Chains A and B, each alone.
Chain A
C-alpha cells in the first residue's frame, strides 16, 4: 500500500515537472516571438489597407485610432466592425471598414470595404473565407476579377433596387453553381455603404475633434 502511494506521488511529481517544463518552453517562445508576430499582423493589415487606399490619397497612419463598431441592426450581424480612417490635410478622405458577411455558404466571409468621402467605393477585398474551392472562391482576387466590379459603385450606382445579384433581379453577377456567396458579399457591401451614409457626419466630426 505504502509502496503504491510513493509510486503515485512520484508519478504525480514527474508529470508536474513536465508540465512546468512545457509551460516554460511555450512562454519562452511566446516572449521571444511576441513582438515579431504583432508586427507581422500589423504589416499584413496595413498591406491589405494600402491595396485599397493608395498612399497618395492619405497622409496619416491608417492603423491609428480606428473605430470599433458593433451594430447588429446596421450590419445584420453581431460581429465587430473595425473602421479605419484615411485622412489627408485633416480631412476624412476615405474609410475602410473591416466587416463580416456572416451568411456565406460556409460560414463567415471577412471583407475590407473602402469608401471614399463622396460615397464611392474605392474597392472591396476578401480577407478570409471558407467558400467552396472552384465555386464560391471566385470572390478571391487570385481566382477571378469579380470583386473589382464594386470599384466606383455607390449607393445610387446602381440604384438601390439593383444592389443584388442578377438572379435576384440585381446588377451583380453570380457564379456558376454559387449564388449564396456573391449574394452575401453584395449584401455586406451594401450595408457598409448604408452605414457610412448614415454616420458620415459623426465620422467626420471625430476627426475634427481629435485634431482640434
Chain B
C-alpha cells in the first residue's frame, strides 16, 4: 500500500487527473471559463470523489467482480444527484450557473476511474485520502485554467465570487487589466483546449527539469558500478 504522502503527491501532481490522466475533460473544458466556476465544480467533484471512494472501499469485499462496475455507477449517480439537490437548496445562485454541469460529474471518468483503480483495492482511510487528493488536484487544474481564461478573456479574476462566498465577497473581483476589451477565444471552448494544452506542456517541462539532476546522478552511479 502506498503511504499517505505518496497518495497525496499522486493526486496533486504525479497522476493529476486533469493534466496527466486527462480524465474529466468534459466538465473541465466546459466550466473553466472563470475561477469561481472552476472552484465550484472542483469542490463538488472533490466531495463526490471522497464519498464515492469511501463507499466503494467499504463494500469492496462484498461485491463480486462481475457486477462491480454497475454498482460503482449506481453509487456515483446517487451521490451526484444528492449533491445536486443539496447545492440547489443551499447554493442556489451558484447552482444556476453550474446547474447543468453538476449532473455531468457522473460522466467524469476520473471518479469511476479512482473507484476502480484505487478504492476497490485499498482500505477506507487510504481511499478517502486518495479521493480528497485526486479531487483537489482536479480542482487546482480547474482553478488554474479558469484563472488563465478569465484573465485573458475578461481581464478579471474572481468575478461572481459572491455566488459562492456571500455578498461580502462582491469586492473580491480583481480587475487585472482595466477597460479590457476581452479576448473572445479564451472564453470559447477552443480557448479551453489550447489553455489545457499549454498547461500540460508546462507541467511536463517542470517534470523534466526536476528529473534532470536525478537522472544524471543515477547514470553517474551506474557508471561507477560498471567500472
CB under 8 Å from chain A, chain B span 149-201: 153, 182, 184, 187-188
Pairs A–B under 8 Å by Cβ, sample size 15:
A11-B67, A14-B62, A14-B63, A14-B71, A15-B71, A22-B77, A23-B78, A29-B81, A29-B85, A32-B89, A33-B89, A36-B89, A37-B89, A40-B89, A44-B92
Q: Is A7 an interface residue (CB 8 A)?
A: yes
Q: State the CA gap A169–B80 with chains docked (Å).
A: 50
Contact of B82 with A18 in the complex, beta carbons under 8 Å: no
Using Cβ atoms and an 8 Å threshold, which residues of chain B touch A29?
A: 81-82, 85-86
- Kindly state the interface size class of chain B when it binds its partner: 20 to 34
Using Cβ atoms and an 8 Å threshold, which residues of chain B touch A26?
A: 78, 81-82, 85
Given contacts A14-B64, A26-B82, 7 further A-B contacts (CB under 8 A): A14-B71, A15-B71, A19-B74, A25-B79, A29-B86, A33-B89, A134-B187
Q: State the CA gap A11–B71 with chains docked (Å).
A: 10
- Within the complex, the shortest CB–CB distance from A109 to chain B, in Å, comes to 16
Q: State the CA gap A134–B185 with chains docked (Å).
A: 9
Using Cβ atoms and an 8 Å threshold, which residues of chain A touch B33?
A: 133
Q: State the CA gap A33–B90 with chains docked (Å).
A: 9
A-B pairs with lowest CB-CB distance, top 6: A22-B78, A33-B89, A36-B89, A134-B184, A40-B92, A29-B82
Q: Is A135 an interface residue (CB 8 A)?
A: yes
* Cβ 8 A contact of A30, one of B71, B79, B85, B187: B85
Q: Which B residue's beta carbon lies closest to that of A11?
A: B67
Dominant secondary structure of chain B at its interface with chain A: helix
Q: State the CA gap A157–B33 with chains docked (Å).
A: 40
Using Cβ atoms and an 8 Å threshold, which residues of chain A touch B62?
A: 14
Using Cβ atoms and an 8 Å threshold, which residues of chain B touch A25?
A: 78-79, 82
Q: Is A68 an interface residue (CB 8 A)?
A: no
Contact of A11 with B66 in the complex, beta carbons under 8 Å: yes
Q: Among B63, B77, B78, B153, find the residue whose CB has the most chain A CB atoms closer than 10 A.
A: B78
Q: State the CA gap A132–B33 with chains docked (Å).
A: 13
Q: State the CA gap A135–B67 with chains docked (Å).
A: 49
- Within the complex, the shortest CB–CB distance from A161 to chain B, in Å, comes to 34
Q: State the CA gap A101–B86 with chains docked (Å).
A: 31
Q: Is A10 an interface residue (CB 8 A)?
A: yes
Q: Is B75 an interface residue (CB 8 A)?
A: yes
Using Cβ atoms and an 8 Å threshold, which residues of chain A touch B79?
A: 25
CB under 8 Å from chain A, chain B span 71-109: 71, 74-75, 77-79, 81-82, 85-86, 88-90, 92, 96
Q: State the CA gap A19–B70 with chains docked (Å).
A: 10
Q: State the CA gap A22–B96 with chains docked (Å).
A: 25
Instruction: Give a binary string over A5-28; 1 marks a CB under 8 Å from any B CB, 0 the rest.
Output: 001001100110011011101100
Using Cβ atoms and an 8 Å threshold, which residues of chain B touch A7?
A: 64, 66
Q: Which B residue's beta carbon lies closest to that of A33?
A: B89
CB under 8 Å from chain B, chain A span 55-76: none
Using Cβ atoms and an 8 Å threshold, which residues of chain B touch A33?
A: 85-86, 88-89
Q: Which B residue's beta carbon lies closest to that of A28?
A: B82
Q: State the CA gap A134–B153 with chains docked (Å).
A: 9
Instruction: Give a binary string over B112-136; 1 marks a CB under 8 Å from any A CB, 0 the rest.
Output: 0000000000000000000000000
Contact of A18 with B75 in the complex, beta carbons under 8 Å: yes
Using Cβ atoms and an 8 Å threshold, which residues of chain B touch A44?
A: 92, 96
A40 and B88 in contact, given A14-B64, A18-B71 (Cβ under 8 angstroms): yes
Using Cβ atoms and an 8 Å threshold, which residues of chain B touch A32?
A: 89
Using Cβ atoms and an 8 Å threshold, which residues of chain A touch B75?
A: 18, 22
Q: Which A residue's beta carbon lies closest to that of B67?
A: A11
Contact of B184 with A135 in the complex, beta carbons under 8 Å: yes
Q: Among B62, B82, B184, find the residue whose CB has the most chain A CB atoms closer than 10 A.
A: B82
Q: State the CA gap A23–B82 with chains docked (Å).
A: 10
Q: Which A residue's beta carbon lies closest to that of B63?
A: A14
Q: State the CA gap A122–B75 with chains docked (Å).
A: 49
- Within the complex, the shortest CB–CB distance from A98 to chain B, in Å, comes to 16
Using Cβ atoms and an 8 Å threshold, which residues of chain B touch A23?
A: 78
